[in-house]
Structure 1
Amino acid sequence: MLVLGIETSCDETGIALFDTERGLLSHTLYSQIAMHSEYGGVVPELASRDHIRRVLPLIRQALHSARCELRDINAIAYTQGPGLAGALLVGASIGAAMSFALNIPALGIHHLEGHLLSPLLSTPAPRFPFIALLVSGGHTQLMQVDAVGHYKLLGETVDDAAGEAFDKTAKLLGLGYPGGAALSQLARQGRPGKFKLPRPMLNSGDLNFSFSGLKTAVLTVINKQEITDQIRADIALAFQEAVVDVLTEKSLAALAQTGLKQLVVAGGVGANEQLRRNLSGKAAAKSATVFYPELEFCTDNGAMIAFAGALRLQAMPEAARQPAHSFTVNARWNLEMLETPEAD
C-alpha cells in the first residue's frame, strides 16, 4: 500500500510517500521560519496562505523523487489536528479532494500520534509497549504506548511546554525566532555552574511538568546581571541543564513506575544534543534503551503522517477504507480520545 502523507498543522509543509512493503520512498519539507521570523512568531493567516502555495508543488516533487505517478497512490493520510485551524484546513481539504478524485481512502491523523510513532521509522526501532516522551513547542507529555491507538497519559505540562519555554527564554536573551535551536547553540559556549536555576516539579511525586517558573527565574537572573555575550551563554546553559534534568528524571520515573525498559523521545526538543546524551546515559545505567527519530523527523514532517496513516489503514477492515466525501479538522484534540484501529 502506497500512502501519501500531508502535514500542514503549523508552519511547515511536509509531504511524504510511504510504502508498506518498501518503506519510506520520499519526503519533502518546506519551512516557513524565514517568513515568521520577521514577526517574532507564527502568524496563522500567513501560515495558511503559504501552505496553499506549497502543498501541490511538494506533492509533485515527492512523486518525482519516488518515481511514482498519482495513479500509484493507494491512500492519503493528512493531519487532522491538533494545530492551527486554518493551516489544518489546507492539508485536509487537499487530501480529501485527492481522495475523492482518485477514488482512494483518506484518513485524518493525529499530529502527536505521528510524532509518537516516528521513531519506528528508524533502525533499530522500539517494540510495543514503550514509554514516549513527546516534547515540542506546544506539548510536553509522557505516554504509555501499548500499541497503535492504545495510549495512556502518565503526565503532562501544567503550563508552558518545554519547547515553548526554550523559545521564550531565547527571546529574553535577545535571540531570534525560533529561539530553541539558537539557545542550544549558545549554550555550547556556556560555563557550567555559573548560574543555578530551579528544577520545577522535579520532586512533585507525579509525572507532570512545569516550565513557566523556570522562564521567570531566567528573567530574574538577567535583571541582576550586567549582560555580556559570555553571561548570555552561561544563562543559556543553566536553563538548558534545568530543562534536561527535569525531562530526564521524569522519563526515568515513568519507566520505573511502569516497569518498561524502552523510552521513545519525539518532537522538536528531542533533537537537543544534551537531552539525548543525558537521557541515553542515565537510561543505560538502569538497563533501559532510548529511541529517537532521525533528526529530520524530529520537527513536523509528512513522513510521520504517512507512516501513522499506513499503520492505521492496515489495521482497518477493508470495507472501512473509503474515499473522502467530507472532512473536518480538530484544532484541539486529546490523544487519549483517539479511536483504536480494529483489524480485519
Structure 2
Amino acid sequence: MRDLLLLGIETTCDETAAAVVRRRADGTGAILSNIVHSQTEDHAEYGGVVPEIAARAHVEVLDHLVARALRAAGLRLDEIDGIAAAAGPGLIGGVIVGLTTAKALALAANKPLIAVNHLEAHALTARLTDKVPFPFLLLLVSGGHTQLVAVTGIGEYEKLGGTMDDAIGEAFDKTAKMLGLPYPGGPAVERAALQGDPERFALPRPLHGKPVPDFSLSGLKTAVRIEALKIAPLSEQDVNDLCASFQAAVVDILADRVRCALRLMRHQGLKPSALVLAGGVGANQSVRRALHKVAADGGTRLAVPPPELCTDNGAMIAWAGAERLARGLHDGLDASPRARWPLGEIEGVGAARAAAQAAETAADAPAAPPAAAPSAPSEGIGG
C-alpha cells in the first residue's frame, strides 16, 4: 500500500468546498488544503437555504475553489490519485453540480472517481483527526440528519436509532427563527443560551428513558413556542432564557439516547473504541461537554473533529474517498446523484468483494448450450 492523494468536492447544501488530503500507507492522514466558500449571507434573508440559489452559487465558484485547493496543496491535477465528490444525500441541484464537475476532472485526468456518501464522510472524519479504529458509535447530527449508528468498517453501518420527526439541527434553526434570532440558528441559540437561565422553563425531554435510541424533537419545539406565547412580547432576557432551557433539554436528550445506544452496542457484542460526534451540532460546546462525560461513564472516549471539520467541508469528502480507494472501491462515470442515500445502502468492502467473486465465478463457468431453434408451426387442416 502506498500513500494516496485525493481531491474532494462538497456541494450538498450551502457550502461550496474543495480540499486535498493525503492518506498515508499506515492509514493515517493529513489535510493539505481545505477551501470552503459559505453561502450563509446569500440565504440569511430567507431564514434557510434556498435550493435554486445554492445550486447557482456552486456553479459560479466551484472551478475556482478546486484550482485554489490544488495550489494550496502545491499539486497539479495529474499528481492526484483520485477525485472524490459528494454524490448525496443533499439538495439535488447542488449534488449534480459537484458530481458533474468531479466526473469531468476524473475523465480529463484519467483518474478514478469516488462517489462519496456525505453522511459516510462525516462518519469517517474522526479516523482522519483522531485515528479512531473500528468499531465505534457514531452520533451524526448534521443538518437534516440525527442518527446513532454502529460503525464496524467502511460501508458497514447499522443504524441503531434516528429521529422520528425533526432533526436536532432543524430544531435549533426553527427555534432560532421562532425567537427572532438570525440564521444559521444553531450558533445563534448557543450564543443566547450563554446569557440565559436553563432552569427557567420546564421543557419536555421526549423519549427519555425509552429502550430504543430514537429521537423526537417536534414536541420540544412546540413547548418552546407555547412558553414564548405565554410571556409575549419577549424581552432579550426572555429569549436568552428560552434558548438556555431549549439547549439544556437537547443536551439531556442526546446524553440519554447515547447511553441507550452504547448499551445496545455492548448487548450486540461490540465494544466501541469511541463515541464519535459528527456534524454541525457537534460544534456546540454544551453538547461536547455532556457527551464527554457520557463517553467516560460508558468506558470509552469522545472523539470530535475540530469545529471547521464538523460542518460541511471538502476534506471530509476527500478523506472518505481515500478510505474507499485504499480498499479498491471506486465508481464509474455513470454514478448517479442522489437526494436521498441512507448509510445502510452504501456498498462496503465485503459487498464489493462478493460481487467481484460472483462475476469471476460467472466468467469461469462453462457456457450454456445454445437453445434449440423453435420448430416451425405445423399448418392446420383448414390452413
TM-score tier by shorter-chain length is over 0.9
Q: TM-score, structure 1 length as denominator?
A: 0.95
Q: Are the aligned partners of 1:170 and 1:180 in contact in 2 as well (CA < 8 Å)?
A: yes
Q: Which has more radius of gyration?
A: 2
The answer to whether the aligner puts 1:217 opposite 2:231 as a matched pair is: no
Deviation, structure 1 residue 206: 1.1
- In the TM superposition, 1:283-302 aligns within 5 A as 283-302=295-314
| Partner residue in 2 for 1:314 | 326
- In the TM superposition, 1:53-202 aligns within 5 A as 53-123=60-130, 125-202=131-208
Q: Secondary structure at the match of 2:33?
A: strand
| Partner residue in 2 for 1:25 | 32
Deviation, structure 1 residue 64: 1.1
| Partner residue in 1 for 2:316 | 304
Query: What letter is aligned with 1:3?
Result: L
Seq. identity, %: 46
Q: Are the aligned partners of 1:186 and 1:233 in contact in 2 as well (CA < 8 Å)?
A: yes
Tell me the alpha carbon deviations over residues 239-290 of structure 1, each in whole angstroms, 9 at most, x when there is no partner.
Answer: 0011111111111111122123421010000111001001102321332211
CA distance in 1, matches of 2:137, 2:220: 25
Deviation, structure 1 residue 161: 0.1
Higher relative contact order, chain-length normalized (CA < 8 Å, sep 6+): 1
Q: Secondary structure at the match of 1:170?
A: helix
| Partner residue in 2 for 1:230 | 237
* Structure 1 gap segments, 5+ residues each: none
Q: Are the aligned partners of 2:113 and 2:333 in contact in 1 as well (CA < 8 Å)?
A: no
Q: Secondary structure at the match of 2:87?
A: strand
CA distance in 2, matches of 1:132, 1:88: 24
Deviation, structure 1 residue 121: 1.7
Q: Secondary structure at the match of 2:8?
A: strand
Q: Secondary structure at the match of 1:330?
A: coil
Q: Secondary structure at the match of 2:326?
A: helix
Deviation, structure 1 residue 9: 0.3
Q: TM-score, structure 2 length as denominator?
A: 0.86
CA distance in 2, matches of 1:121, 1:186: 32
Deviation, structure 1 residue 204: 2.5
Q: Secondary structure at the match of 1:79?
A: strand
Tell me the alpha carbon deviations over residues 78-111 of structure 1, each in whole angstroms, 9 at most, x when there is no partner.
Answer: 0000001110000010000111111110011100
Q: Which moved more, 1:148-157 or 1:65-74?
A: 65-74
| Partner residue in 2 for 1:11 | 14
CA distance in 2, matches of 1:243, 1:284: 19
Give aligned pairs, total.
339
Deviation, structure 1 residue 40: 1.4
Query: What letter is aligned with 2:81?
Result: N
Query: What letter is aligned with 2:265?
Result: T
CA distance in 1, matches of 2:92, 2:148: 25
Deviation, structure 1 residue 192: 3.2
Query: What letter is aligned with 2:159?
Result: L
The answer to whether the aligner puts 1:328 opposite 2:328 as a matched pair is: no
